[in-house]
Amino acid sequence: MSREIKFRIWDVKKRRWFGDIIFEEPPQLDSDFSLSLNDSLFLVNQYTGLKDKNGKEAYEGDIIVNRDGDKRQILYSWAGFEMRLLNGERDSNNTTWYFDFEVVGNIYEMAELVK
């Protein structure tokens, strides 16, 4: 079974999700996975192919929590998606996060958590 390729867009200037648009195919992007239109900056997040325990889709940039209350951020690396500590450090215990987690927000709307 292949993973569904989907994207969502954050409007940096207006600090909100750019409509309800989700791309079924990748848009043309800059090297930092952002795009600019009419002097606005938009950040593009890719769907991980995973859903949390409530069925919510997990995207790059999401903040997730496990049953013990530990929080992580979903990042994309050259090898695929990984979970990292909110301060950006690598987590040596990534594998347990794929089975029982909940999406509680994202780094754009909850920036105070990522410090």
What CATH number is given to the structural domain containing 45?
A: 2.30.30.290
Structure tokens at 41: 């900056």
94 vs 55, more confident = 55
Q: Which domain holds residue 104?
A: 7-113
Closest CA to 46 of 24, 20, 73: 24
* Average predicted confidence (pLDDT) for the chain: 76
pLDDT on residue 32: 53
Domain-embedded: residue 2: no
The count of domains in the chain is 1
Rounded to whole angstroms, what are the CA distances from 73 to 10, 39, 40, 97? 16, 28, 25, 11
pTM of the model: 0.75
pLDDT in tens, 41-83: 788 888 888 899 999 999 999 999 988 788 889 888 777 787 7
Q: Helix (H, G, I), strand (E, B), or coil: what is residue 113?
A: helix
Structure tokens at 115: 């410090």
Say if residue 112's pLDDT is above 90: no
